[in-house]
Structure 1
Amino acid sequence: MAVGAIHDLTDGNRDGTPDNIDVHIAMSVIGLLLIALGTGGIKPCVSAFGGDQFEENQDKQRSRFFSIFYLSINAGSLLSTIITPILRGQECGIHTKRECYALAFGVPAALMVVALVVFIIGSSMYKKVSPQGNIIVKVSKCIAFAVRNRYKNRSKSIPKREHWMDWAKEKYDERLIAQIKMVLKVLFLYIPLPMFWALFDQQGSRWTLQATTMDGNFGAMQIQPDQMQTVNPILILILVPIFDAVLYPLIKKCKLNFSPLKKMTVGMFLAAMAFVAAALVQLQIDETLPIFPSSNQIQLKVINLGDSAMNVTYNPPIDGANGHIMNLKASDYQTIENPISVVFSYGDKNETFSLNGLSDKTRYTYIVKNEQTIRAELARDISAKPEKGKNAIRFVNNLQEYITIKVPENDEVYLMPFAVSNYTNVTLGIKQFVVTNATGAVYSTESIKFGFGSSYTIIIKKCANNNLNIEYIEDIKANTVHMALQIPQYFLITAGEVVFSVTGLEFSYSQAPSNMKAVLQAGWLLTVAFGNIIVLIVAGASTLSEQWAEYVLFAALLVAVCIIFAVMAYFYTYVDPAEIEAQFDEEEKKKHPKEIEAMGLEKGNGPYSQTKM
């Protein structure tokens, strides 16, 4: 990814686009594939590898390890969320200066190399499980044989067997069959779990989009919408120690049986409540959002740049829409269905302009001026809140000369007389606008303080005495609902994550046979992938137009799944894989005592158990 970004910087055009887009895409795809391959190798194995470092009687220490392990993951996530945007924000490039993605990808790559070196240096300190062939292939063949054998003998008068996997006994070792039963039992319990991740992973998408319509001004600190995601890892760092050192011991002292599956059920319920909280916040936001045009509608606003008042008349007439617009003022947006034309009048002078052919679900502004004839310039407005909480601004040149406008964070804007610029995005705060006219004279002024998510049409009225005189027309109001209202929903889903995810990792390890620890960890991670697929399916199939209703839908689905999981958990019987494997070792020792003694195997350390090192 870093090399691809460097290629863009050295082989780009002056407009910031890469010369060879195919190379850019190829490098990105290769990078993503390598990340996927590496993640597939690390994630299922690292937690199982950590659990392997503890003895069978160290359940408390192993439980604490999984908490610290999850804490470390989120500490890295927090640092990444803070530092990566800073690295990306550095300007670099040859033909044009732009965001430095090469640095944003390159620094993590270098740190991963350092991590790998540290891991290799400490290799001799770790307890390792000896490889014993491809367990996935062995398990798959055993399951396939059991299914075939059961199907082949379905019509014969053979006594029924206690478990369908027992049909594999003719070919496979009973120990392996018992281990597969344990794994299948847990995997069956995993079936409802993707619904939790379907909600959890929307923090980085739906909730961030929600934050773009909110006010991120925290006084001394200005929070951007995507920075609200740091609340989750921050709360993880706070809640994991509290839960581990205070809450769980307190529940245990109260003699309540807060088993792992009960913890996971509570976690799912908390995630559902988080989405109920998000829905309540969304209802507040919706009350402040502008009403944008729907199908078969346009919205039209008129700005009068003439030197006197102007009348506006719509055809067909719109109730309450006709009337006076004073000089350098704007009308409100009028929602029009099946528009035909609009008439602009200055005294006895009038001009008709057709509205046919305008795009539905779009906002427009007519800039009108009274000269020898009535001139009107139609501009297409943005029909949604600006992305990432920025402010969309554009300029109208009401001077009689060509001008250049320097806008902070953007390229210069060139405007002919009576022309409208494209939108540029600016961040929160007061900006310095500098205008240079055709003679080279420079005029400047400070802007109003921009908030989050607003849109303005700025009229350049006059340049005189080194001062720039401008007028602001507010197209979209700034966000007024504060981002702090998202904190309760982040708290609920993070609390749910702590009791669900950390417990799930530990449960997956504790219920897995010694040779299938990573297999169950991989199965656990697979529920995350299916959760993302559920989001795509539900969001695609849903006909809900209101975002709050979609939040409630997801919450209701998770509550339903939570009830199903609670019933499944009630009937689940916890097992001790080490004890079961020790029984097989003992039986093997009784059958072949001399061979076992020669192999130097001890009780509980059979052919399929982990090797002590």
Structure 2
Amino acid sequence: MTRIDVCLKGCDVAVCGYPLSIFFIVVNEFCERFSYYGMRAVLVLYFKYFLRWDDDMSTSIYHTFVALCYLTPILGAIVADSWLGKFKTIIYLSIVYTLGQVAMAVSAIHDITDTDKDGTPDDMTFHVVMSMVGLFLIALGTGGIKPCVAAFGGDQFSDSQEKQRRTFFSVFYLCINGGSLLSTIITPILRAQECGIHTKQSCYPLAFGVPAALMVVALVVFIVGSGMYYKAEPQGNIMMDVCRCIGFAIKNRYRHRSGRYPKRQHWMDWAEEKYDKLLIAQIKMVLKVLFLYIPLPMFWTLFDQKGSRWTLQATTMDGNFGALVIQPDQMQTVNPILILTLVPIMDSVIYPLIKKCGLNFTPLKRMTVGMFLAALAFVCAALVQVEIDKSLPTFPSASQSQLKLLNMGAEPLKVKLPDNVQLELPPNQVCQYLFKTTMYNIYSYRCRITVFILILTKRMYAGKNDTENLPFHCVFVFFLNFRFINGMLTGVNVSIAGAEPTLLEPEYYSNYSQIKTGITTFTIRSGSESCDYRREFGFGSSYTFLIHSTFKFGPSCHESISAVEDIKPNSVHMALQIPQYFFITAGEVMFSVTGLEFSYSQAPSNMKAVLQAGWLLTVAIGNFIVLIVAELAKIPEQWAEYVLFASLLIAVCFFFSIMAYFYTYMDPAEIEAQFKKNVDDDKDDRALKQKMNFAKDSVESDDEKDENKQTQL
């Protein structure tokens, strides 16, 4: 189908000078970015608090997923340019993308009860498998369409609409940031909602379901505009040509490695026997820039930890900003907000001011400063982590477990523990004890978590000292939660205003339930009698409420309820993360935005996509570095890990500055023009030689004719 045929079917319909098809593409991009960033915003918390992985495992899987998202664009570009074309590639991979988002939503549908009655945690195998399949499909889909959508939008404009095309790319970039900003605000709010059949818990099905719905909308909108698009046929992939040319040069150089063959100025010159000199010159320019890319992955190693380590750090902080309560995963919105603020400030104020001061602030110098700012951001994160560590409770180490003992009786109780440790438990209070996991494997096996609790009830005083059948419960800390333990011999109903009451069996406990920060009133009922108990919850706190065995309904009933603070409220405020977000965003503006502009200016006209693929590859490698450090380094202190990453980036920054100093800027258009001129000159020389040879042959032929005539005479 030619361009004229498509235009007759609707491409000529314009709104404000723009093809109508553009509006479908813009809406598609906004919904797709909302879907991706919304899912990604809550992903690391889903790993930790739903699948119950530790921080290192959650971080590793998160960065593996992000790395795959930046590896698959190369595959998408090859498929689109060499086989299916941009339109079909977007359609097919969007379907894969949508299935992945739906799989993620399905993987989160589960009414978690922490543990079964025998103390064994719920089996999460199905949910782990579904989520991994979903993440793989999402990575394939979002990465595969990444290089296609923007280019497909640019194809919709004719040569006379260059101004509208430039405006489209600006609006396109705005849609990316707008979708990212809104989704990072909205999906954490959806996650924080309570949902569940038997228990109230974070609503991850809703947090993943809305992005899945937005991806369905994105796909439908894109298909609706199908008849209006200009669909260019696949023209072949330049990346494949580059790879073949480089491969031939290496192979040919290896084949002629003996000293009998003359040396060549550049190793790519060994490809001259098969490939055009202009293509070889263009590849040389690309390789020169790609060599400069070698240190760049370290920046992305730090930058992409906003969604993993920094989000996990925020879970241990206080998000109460007065009238506004910020969720830990919502702190990521600081980044797009600062981007939209800093980009115009940098372009219109900072860079012109530096230029007026007489400083030559080249693109590579900007990128160096951006890397240093990212390292400074992690120094700030380390300082914040030191303050957080001062406020955290004592948790067991990797080789330990923590035992909590609750005495529900009305008198003190002496308990003898392994290793001849003796404790005296006051009535209606809790004591904790740390011991080595390897010595008492039964507890770790039953819990798969390192904190668990034994409840010593009033029955033990009657001579039934049956330690094998004591009530047993694994403790798992959410952001903010509570539970009740009934020490009486009769059952009671416990409820929060507006919620269904929960029956609490005698001398038994309830599972942990999540609750919002602030003052909450609990109502305890038995028949027609009731008791109201009020308590204020701080952000990140966890409480166990003990209903004493001597509890009686009446005006002073609340005095027979004790509150045990399992986890203290977070005392370090989330506002302390703002400086590290500022430095990492300022570094992004100076590094990423400048790097893309630099790559575009240094790339030959037909190889800008090759450098774009190389740029995305540095992002993927950076995320793999996080994976390696998280799994292999095993640094016990989080602040020390932040310092390690900052030190590595400063070292890389030093080497990059040396490489930048010796780099000479190119004008690809001038080099290409010179090569084309040389080719034209060679053609002219060959044509002139052919004319001269023809004229010479004609003269010689005439002379021979004259000689033949004279000979005949």
What range describes the TM-score normalised by the shorter chain of this pair? 0.7 to 0.9
- Offset at residue 295 of structure 1 (A): 5.4
Q: CA deviation at 1:460?
A: 2.5
* Deviation for aligned residue 1:494: 0.7
2: CA distance, partners of 1:7 / 1:34: 10
Q: Which moved more, 1:442-451 or 1:184-193?
A: 442-451
Contact preservation (8 Å) 1:299, 1:335 = yes
User: Which among 302, 315, 329 is matched to residue 429 of structure 2?
Assistant: 329
398 and 95 in structure 1: CA distance in 2 versus 1, 3 angstrom threshold: closer
Q: 1:495 to 1:116 in 2, by over 3 A?
A: farther
Cα distance in 1 between the residues matched to 2:317 and 2:127: 38
Supply the AA of the counterpart residue of 1:538. Answer: V
SS at match of 2:462: coil
Structure 2 partner of 1:180: 283
Deviation at 1:270, TM superposition (A): 0.7
Deviation string for 1:16-45 (max 9, x for gaps)? 89xxx9899679847853652453332477
Counterpart in 2 of 1:160?
A: 263
Kindly provide the amino acid, as one letter, of the partner of residue 512 in structure 2: Y
Q: Aligned partner of 1:263: which letter?
A: R
- Post-superposition Cα deviations, 1:87-136, rounded to whole Å, max 9, x if no partner, equal 66789999999643433321244146547878996x78xxx999753212
1:225-240 equivalence runs, <5 A: 225-240=328-343
Counterpart of 1:329, as a letter, is: Q
Report 1:167-316 matches (<5 A): 167-294=270-397, 297-312=400-415, 316=419
- Going from structure 1 to structure 2, the CA distance change for 1:3 and 1:199 (only over 3 Å counts) comes to closer
Q: SS in structure 2 opposite 1:330? A: strand
Contact preservation (8 Å) 1:391, 1:452: yes
1:478 CA displacement: 1.2
- Kindly indicate whether residue 236 of structure 2 is the aligned counterpart of residue 133 of structure 1: yes
Tell me, yes or no, if structure 1 residue 110 matches structure 2 residue 209: no
Tell me, yes or no, if the aligned pair for 1:197 and 1:532 is still in contact at 8 Å.
yes
Contact between 1:208 and 1:225, CA under 8 Å: does it hold in 2? yes
Q: Tell me the secondary structure at the aligned position of residue 508 of structure 2.
A: coil
Matches within 5 A, 1:454-469: 454-461=541-548, 462=551, 464-465=553-554, 469=558
Distance 1:31 1:104 in 2: 13
Q: CA deviation at 1:415?
A: 2.3
Secondary structure at 2:261 match in 1: coil
Q: 1:42 aligns with which of 141, 146, 160?
A: 146
Q: Is the 8 A contact 1:459 1:471 kept in 2?
A: yes
Q: Say which of 630, 637, 642 aligns to 1:546.
A: 637
SS of residue paired to 1:464: coil
Alignment match of 1:524 (pick from 607, 610, 615): 615
Percent identity, please. Answer: 52
Match of 2:462 in 1: 372
Query: CA 1:230/1:115 → structure 2, altered by over 3 Å: closer, same or farther?
Result: farther
**1:560 matches 2:651:** yes
Deviation at 1:419, TM superposition (A): 0.9
**1:473 is paired with a residue of what secondary structure?**
strand
- Aligned-partner Cα distance in 2 for 1:35–1:173: 37
Change (3 A) 1:223 1:498: same
Structure 2 CA distance for aligned equivalents of residues 533 and 10 of structure 1:
28
Structure with greater proportional strand content? 1
Per-residue deviation, 1:579: 1.2
Q: What CA deviation, in whole Å up to 9, does each residue of 1:318-342 have, x standing for no partner?
A: 5xx74462x43334x34356999xx
Confirm whether residue 402 of structure 1 aligns to residue 484 of structure 2.
no
**What 5-or-longer segments of structure 2 have no aligned partner?**
1-96, 114-124, 688-713
Separation in structure 2 between the aligned mates of residue 484 and residue 88 of structure 1, nearest angstrom: 21
What SS does the aligned partner of 1:432 have? strand
The DSSP-based 3-state class of the residue aligned with 2:366 is helix
The two structures, once aligned, show a CA RMSD in angstroms of 4.4
TM-score (norm 1): 0.79
Q: Which amino acid aligns with 1:102?
A: G
Q: Deviation string for 1:208-250 (max 9, x for gaps)?
A: 1111111111111111111111111111111111111111111
Per the alignment, residue 611 of structure 1 pairs with none
Name the stretch that deviates more: 373-382 or 42-51: 42-51
Tell me what 2:591 maps to: 500
Aligned with 2:513 (options 417, 424, 427): 424
- In the alignment, the residues of structure 2 paired with residue 239 and residue 52 of structure 1 have an alpha-carbon distance, to the nearest angstrom, of 31
Q: Does the CA-based 8 Å contact 1:275-1:555 persist in structure 2?
A: yes
Give the Cα–Cα distance (whole angstroms) in 1 for the partners of residues 498 and 296 of structure 2.
45
Partner of 2:137: 33
More moved, 359-368 vs 493-502: 359-368
Equivalent residue in structure 2 for 1:382, among 475, 483, 491: 475
Does structure 1 retain, via aligned residues, the 8 Å contact 2:404–2:453?
A: yes
The one-letter code matched in structure 1 to 2:547 is I
Residue identity opposite 1:425 in structure 2: Q
User: Aligned partners of 2:152 and 2:108: how far apart in 1?
Assistant: 45
Letter in 1 for 2:484: F
Conserved 8 A contact 1:330-1:473? yes
SS at match of 2:643: helix
Q: 1:158 offset after TM fit, Å?
A: 2.4
Deviation of 1:432 (Å): 3.5
Q: Give the deviation of 1:572 after TM superposition.
A: 1.2
- Structure 1 window deviating more from structure 2 (444-453 vs 108-117): it is 108-117
Query: CA separation in 2, counterparts of 1:95 and 1:361?
Result: 25
Summarize the Cα distance change of 1:478–1:416 in structure 2 as closer, same or farther, 3 Å threshold: same
Query: CA–CA distance in 1 between the matches of 2:368 and 2:647?
Result: 15
State the Cα distance separating 1:293 from its structure 2 match. Answer: 2.4
Which stretch of structure 1 is more off in the superposition, 441-450 or 242-251? 441-450
* Change over 3 Å in CA distance of 1:492–1:66 after alignment to 2: farther
- Return the offset for 1:157: 2.2
Q: CA deviation at 1:393?
A: 1.9
CA distance in 2, matches of 1:218, 1:119: 47
1:73 Cα shift? 3.1
Aligned to 1:351: none
- 1:244-275, CA deviations, whole angstroms, 9 ceiling, x for partnerless residues? 11111111111211111111111111111111
Aligned residues: 563
Unaligned runs of 5+ in 1: 341-354, 597-613
Query: Structure 1 pair 523/362, CA: closer, same or farther in 2 (3 Å)?
Result: same
1:447 to 516, 523, 534: 534
Taking structure 2 as the reference length, what is the TM-score of the superposition?
A: 0.69
